[in-house]
Amino acid sequence: MLAYLNELGLVCALGNDKQQVAEALFNGDSSGLQAQAGWIPGRSLPVGAVRGELPGIPTGLQRHATRNNRLLLAAALQIEPALRDAISRFGGSRIAVVLGTSTSGIDESSQGIRHHHRHGELPPSFDYTQQELAAPATFLADWLGLSGPCHVISTACTSSGRALQSARRLLRLGLCDAVLCGGVDSLCQLTLNGFAALEAVSTERCNPFSANRHGINIGEGAALFLMTREPGRIALLGAGASSDAHHISAPAPDGSGARKAMLKALADARLEAGQIAYLNLHGTATQHNDSMESLAVQALFPEGVPCSSSKPLSGHTLGAAAALEAAFCWLCLSPYNAHGRLPPHRWDGQSDPTLPPLSLVSDANPTLPAQAPRYLMSNSFAFGGNNVSLILGEVHDESGVSR
């Protein structure tokens, strides 16, 4: 049984809808990463903030009023007609919600604690449930009146990749007929200061796979798919996960865990490595990640595969990253990419001689193959050696025509 990704809503530093994001993505526009002060004491650093006004939380749902949920709502409103149609056809009890996040409403809770330190009491707006990891899924279910399976997965930077896996599993088990799945994460001081304490944050635009890389830029965003069994043009064809458990924050240096996840995704999709037309790298621009990922990719694709990291464009959106970068692959295969372009890799061009060379996409690189079906892979790796690889692809009907 195939799991089709029939609708997509997204918002991130690249733009506030699919058209804006696609235009910036394929032009390699990194202007969404802007230096801001105030996140880390005494420092200004680039962050991938969503620009513009976000939608307000609907009346009667004020207990869900967090920036995380407003980002999620911004994505959901883009596909609301399809969501309402699915509800009318399947019923609210047959639609699941499965999301990934790492922040939830932590920023609002931090603000509440700060208010308590200053005034001796929590503000009237404080609601403990906002910081619970399940809060984004609960919000969507309450807003849409859904009573099907509803949960959030929080495995750091693989969270929303595992959410897509879990969503597909629910469909295959027959526990629902449609799943709202994806991820959301918002900028917050706690997160940025935590990564700064690990000395993992760059004060410049991140520079994946460069000899001059200095760490990550944090971003925010939301990507929400409507996944069903109903045939469509693009499907989640393969998913692979592994856990090398090498270290609490560092990946296995030989890339074995990452490679295992990619191999499992290929086996799940019944594809060979040579059939992958593009690889969205995890590409965080940290020393350890780029080293192990380049080893894993070179081992699996010895002849090379067009690849790039989109994090110099969007920032690292943490729990939302896997879904957001799956959304970038979805855009590559969609009508929003009429010329079959690939997201270029933005960096200084200074290769690290200690890393195996990769076939990084430049503005002059070839486009996607013209002949369908085309298969794209996206990698996400997280603390604790938690690894996920996803494969999206076009699906042919019985006549051999791409849907």
Active site residues: 157, 282, 316
Q: Residues 6 or more apart from 59 whose CB is under 8 A from it? A: none
- Print the SS3 string covering 10-76: EEECCECCHHHHHHHHHHCCCCCCEEEEEEECCEEEEEECCCCCCCCCCCCCHHHCCHHHHHHHHHH
CA triple 328-86-23, angle to 5 deg: 20
The 3-class SS string of 357-370 reads CCCECCCCCCCCCC
35 Rama class: left (phi>0) / alpha (psi -120 to 50) / beta: beta
Tell me which residue has tokens 């304490």.
197
Length of the chain: 403
Cross-strand partners of 387:
242, 381
The alpha-carbon radius of gyration of the chain (Å, integer) is 20
DSSP SS3 for 350: coil
- Given a contact cutoff of 8 angstroms between Cβ atoms, the answer to whether 9 and 221 are in contact is no
Rounded CA-CA distance 340/261 in Å is 27
Q: Are 343 and 361 in contact (CB under 8 A)?
A: yes
